[in-house]
């Protein structure tokens, strides 16, 4: 199977095996949420925390091979409480991936705005999840302007009357090497975001046990890719990452073990392909469509 038979397709199988057919350095962004330890036993069999790293490393070996040197891998994952404490499988995975050749570049937090209350005897409810960034090299594509946010109300008072210090670069008083020039933000309407992403969870689960909101992959797709780039989700689940890529004019590759999810993802992709030209015509934006027929092939994950 050549590269072009992968592009804009949802493929059935274990991603560690399926990806062996994809050429080296052919993907711009990998965004995925694999089954967490001991989760989704009915659909994926479950992976114990102690075995998680050895289960996942053969897959990340293929991720490393197919990702372009300028590409990025975003891993949505969460620790699991075992015997009253957080298991260390996520930390162990990060260390093992670094030994595999990955750079642990950054970490983002997804704050779940609509998380409902809960009660446990020795902890509070989790209201966030990790999104860990890995890269092959220190120089990678990043389009920060694509995710800028409104400057916010703080600017009205903070920038109204600047001190002398505010008008020059104010170096850290503790010798950290960091500094700021507050005057740089005078007159600006948009600023760069921080690494906390505030999004509600997906309430309609698309017949999937752990669907995430489409705005989550969209944010990272905008940040790390441009139109026409290739986005891979090796645990594609119900197809959310593919839909996000399509809506932003990117190409996609989706893989999953579960035939039922494959069908769901393909149906959603087909519906989106029908809707995109209509939306583009109404908006006068034909650049939003750069995907081809995805119904030709075959799909695992929490999307």
Whether the per-residue pLDDT at 237 is higher than 90: the answer is: yes
Of 74, 145, 151, the closest CA to residue 105 belongs to 74
Of 279, 222, 296, the closest CA to residue 10 belongs to 296
Average pLDDT over residues 140-168: 75
**Domains of the chain (ranges, CATH numbers):** 3-148+193-288 (3.40.50.150), 150-191 (no CATH)
Whether the per-residue pLDDT at 150 is higher than 70: the answer is: yes
What share of the chain in percent tops pLDDT 70?
Answer: 72
DSSP state of 38: T
Query: 171 or 293: whose pLDDT is higher?
Result: 171
Query: 173 or 229: whose pLDDT is higher?
Result: 229
Q: Which residues pair with 197 in a beta bridge?
A: 110
| Segment (H or E) for 74 | strand 67-77
Phi-psi region of 38 (alpha: psi -120 to 50; beta: other; left: phi over 0): left
Question: What pLDDT score was predicted for residue 121?
Answer: 83
**Helix, strand, coil in percent for the chain, rounding step 5:** 35, 20, 45
Question: What pLDDT score was predicted for residue 18?
Answer: 97
Question: What pLDDT score was predicted for residue 157?
Answer: 63
Hey, how many other C-beta atoms are within 10 angstroms of the C-beta on 39?
A: 16
Q: Which of 98-112, 166-180, 270-284 comes out lowest in average pLDDT?
A: 166-180
| Segment (H or E) for 170 | strand 170-171
Q: Which residues pair with 77 in a beta bridge?
A: 130
d(CA 258, CA 268): 16
Confidence bin at 44 (pLDDT 50/70/90): low
Classify the C-alpha dihedral 298-267-205-42 as positive or negative: negative
Hey, how many other C-beta atoms are within 10 angstroms of the C-beta on 201?
A: 17
Confidence bin at 296 (pLDDT 50/70/90): very low
The C-alpha R_g of the chain, in whole angstroms, comes to 21
- Burial class of 37 by CB neighbour count within 10 A (0 to 12, 13 to 18, 19+): buried
Average pLDDT over residues 280-295: 42
Q: What is the pTM of this model?
A: 0.82
d(CA 118, CA 275): 39
Residue 130 half-sphere exposure toward CB, CA atoms < 13 A: 16
Query: 278 or 82: whose pLDDT is higher?
Result: 82
Confidence bin at 285 (pLDDT 50/70/90): very low
Question: What pLDDT score was predicted for residue 115?
Answer: 76
Whether the per-residue pLDDT at 200 is higher than 80: the answer is: yes
What share of the chain in percent tops pLDDT 90?
Answer: 56
Classify the C-alpha dihedral 242-244-247-251 as positive or negative: negative
Of 280, 163, 236, 302, the closest CA to residue 14 belongs to 236
């Amino acid at each position: 199977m050549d590269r072009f038979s992968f592009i804009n397709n949802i493929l059935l199988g274990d991603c560690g095996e399926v990806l062996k057919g994809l050429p080296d350095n052919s993907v711009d962004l990998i965004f995925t949420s694999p089954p967490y330890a001991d989760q989704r036993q009915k659909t994926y069999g479950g992976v114990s925390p102690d075995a998680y790293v050895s289960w996942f490393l053969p897959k990340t070996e293929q991720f490393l091979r197919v990702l372009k040197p300028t590409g990025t891998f975003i891993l949505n994952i969460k620790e699991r409480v075992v015997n009253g404490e957080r298991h260390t499988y996520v930390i162990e995975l990060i260390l093992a991936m670094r030994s595999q050749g990955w750079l642990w570049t950054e970490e983002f937090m997804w704050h779940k705005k609509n998380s409902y209350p809960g009660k446990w005897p020795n902890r509070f409810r989790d209201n966030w999840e990790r999104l860990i960034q890995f890269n092959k090299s220190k120089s990678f594509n990043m389009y920060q302007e694509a995710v800028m946010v409104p400057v916010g109300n703080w600017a009205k008072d903070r920038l109204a009357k600047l001190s002398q210090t505010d008008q020059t670069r104010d170096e850290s008083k503790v010798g950290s090497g960091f500094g700021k020039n507050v005057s740089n933000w005078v007159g600006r309407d948009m600023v760069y975001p921080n690494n906390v992403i505030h999004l509600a969870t997906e309430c309609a689960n698309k017949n999937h046990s752990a669907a995430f909101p489409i705005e989550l992959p969209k944010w990272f797709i905008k940040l790390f890719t441009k139109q026409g780039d290739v986005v891979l989700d090796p645990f594609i689940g119900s197809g959310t990452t593919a839909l996000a890529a399509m809506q932003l004019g990117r190409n996609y590759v989706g893989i999953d073990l579960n035939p039922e999810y494959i069908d769901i993802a393909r149906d959603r992709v087909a519906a989106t392909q029908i809707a995109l030209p209509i939306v583009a015509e109404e908006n006068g934006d034909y650049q939003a469509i750069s995907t081809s027929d995805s119904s030709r092939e075959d799909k695992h994950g929490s999307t």
